[in-house]
Chain A
Amino acid sequence: MSELQERAAKLWKVPKGYIYVLEEFCKGCGFCVEFCPKKVLAQASHFNDKGYHPPEVVDPEACVLCGFCERICPDFAIWVEEEGKGDVS
């Protein structure tokens, strides 16, 4: 699908792997920011196309790759990947 090919996610490197954020899917509910046990994420100051503040990684060193952001996200907009292993959840 062409739309899928054009879609670009943001990627952050964290000690054990990667965090992906697909900003167009985000509806700014703030669940990932609030319920991250290590407070790795914060709401960005910029807006996405829909006018919501997507999450961004502010403390990559603290991430233990528990994947709870991926679980709690209602919009399939954030996910984690373990280094060399693919999806962990």
Chain B
Amino acid sequence: MPVKVARAEPEFVPGVRHPLERWLRTDRLPHIWCSGCGLGTALSAFLYALDELGWDPDSIAVVSGIGCTGRVAGYLKLDTYHTTHGRPIPFATGLKLAKPDLHVIVFSGDGDLFAIGGNHFIHAARRNMDITVICVNNLNYGMTGGQLGPTTPVGALTTTSPFGNFEHPFNLVHLAASAGATYVARWTTLDGRRLQKAFVEALSHKGFTFVEILSPCPTNYGRRNRMGEALDELKYYREHMVIRHGADPKDADILPGKPFLVGKFVDLEKPTYLELYQTKAREIGGG
């Protein structure tokens, strides 16, 4: 409830635009995401990164899968693909190989990328496909009603684990690093400018790059785990996140009520799939 009252009277100005509106399909806004969902923040950080990079919009393609995060493709005024469930990475791989000059970005959720499309993720990382994968991790299947997902922490309550989750979840940072990703970072939706910097680094990095964003899910995950409103979830992040660059990805587990690591975990150079393919093709005389 308001404590203070506005002293200055506002002016009404018609026809003004948000600075990011040149990247957005404004006829589709306001978006469908719940009040307090971190997806809008993650999307705006991504758009600020595109602003900073200054790339031609025609040279960018965004691919997303199914789920709340999958809706990103529908809101961007870029070449976007809203693909079948779990398959944004195969689509992105095809796109990158057919048009190597294109900047290909996969923007999807944890369920889409790691449960339904888990196999595609590890193999794209293994081959070092030159794409950027952005995963918004809300720790459950948000769109379908808050079921247990591959990233749900041990002990967390969901619709399909009403007595608490007993399964071992994925540590996405460790998974990406061990599968061969050349850039791995994790941030929360609270880190506006750090997130923008991570996106700029990941997008301009050669090879398979991965950015995980921890996002509140107030409607499903937060409510069932009695974390309160989205605001309380962000306060929880503020109190529990520990920024440690270059930490061992093994230590980046997320446990309820325990501190978790964020930062840049991996940053290395490795020949990409396309480079290796071209080298091989030249070697055997076909290139």
Chain A residues near B (Cβ < 8 Å): 1, 3-13, 20-22, 24-25, 27-31, 34-35, 42-45, 52-53, 56-60, 68, 70-77, 79, 86-87, 89
State the CA gap A22–B30 with chains docked (Å): 11
State the CA gap A59–B7 with chains docked (Å): 7
Instruction: Tell me how far the C-beta of B187 lies from the nearest C-beta in chain A, rounded to whole angstroms.
Output: 12
B20 contacts A42, C-beta separation under 8 Å = no
Binds A, one of B10-18, B108-116, B162-170, B205-213: B10-18
> From A3, which residue of chain B is reached at the shortest CB distance?
B27
State the CA gap A61–B40 with chains docked (Å): 29
A75 contacts B40, C-beta separation under 8 Å = yes
A58 contacts B7, C-beta separation under 8 Å = yes
**Can you pick out 10 interface pairs between chain A and chain B where the beta carbons lie within 8 Å of each other?**
A9-B12, A31-B36, A31-B231, A35-B234, A42-B2, A56-B6, A56-B10, A74-B37, A74-B38, A75-B31
Determine the chain A residues whose CB is within 8 A of the CB of B35 once the complex forms: 27-29, 52
Interface residue B41 (Cβ < 8 Å from any Cβ of A)? yes
Not counting A12-B11, A29-B230, a sample of 15 additional A-B residue pairs whose C-beta atoms are within 8 angstroms of each other reads A1-B26, A5-B15, A10-B10, A10-B12, A21-B10, A29-B36, A29-B229, A31-B41, A45-B2, A56-B10, A60-B7, A72-B190, A74-B40, A74-B41, A86-B19
Interface residue B45 (Cβ < 8 Å from any Cβ of A)? yes
Contact residue among A42, A53, A76 (Cβ-Cβ distance under 8 Å from B40):
A76
B12 contacts A71, C-beta separation under 8 Å = no
Interface string of B82-114 (1 = CB under 8 A from A): 000000000000000000000000000000000
State the CA gap A28–B13 with chains docked (Å): 21
A79 contacts B19, C-beta separation under 8 Å = yes
Chain B residues near A (Cβ < 8 Å): 1-8, 10-21, 24, 26-27, 29-31, 33-41, 44-45, 48, 189-190, 192-193, 229-231, 234-235
B13 contacts A8, C-beta separation under 8 Å = yes
Instruction: Tell me how far the C-beta of B228 lies from the nearest C-beta in chain A, rounded to whole angstroms.
Output: 12
Instruction: Tell me how far the C-beta of B197 lies from the nearest C-beta in chain A, rounded to whole angstroms.
Output: 12
Contact residue among A1, A29, A57, A58 (Cβ-Cβ distance under 8 Å from B231):
A29
Determine the chain B residues whose CB is within 8 A of the CB of A35 once the complex forms: 190, 234
Instruction: Tell me how far the C-beta of A56 lies from the nearest C-beta in chain B, rounded to whole angstroms.
Output: 5
Determine the chain B residues whose CB is within 8 A of the CB of A77 once the complex forms: 30
B8 contacts A13, C-beta separation under 8 Å = yes
Contacts A30-B231, A74-B33, A74-B40 given; does A12 touch B190 at CB 8 Å: no
Contact residue among A28, A58, A70, A71 (Cβ-Cβ distance under 8 Å from B4):
A58
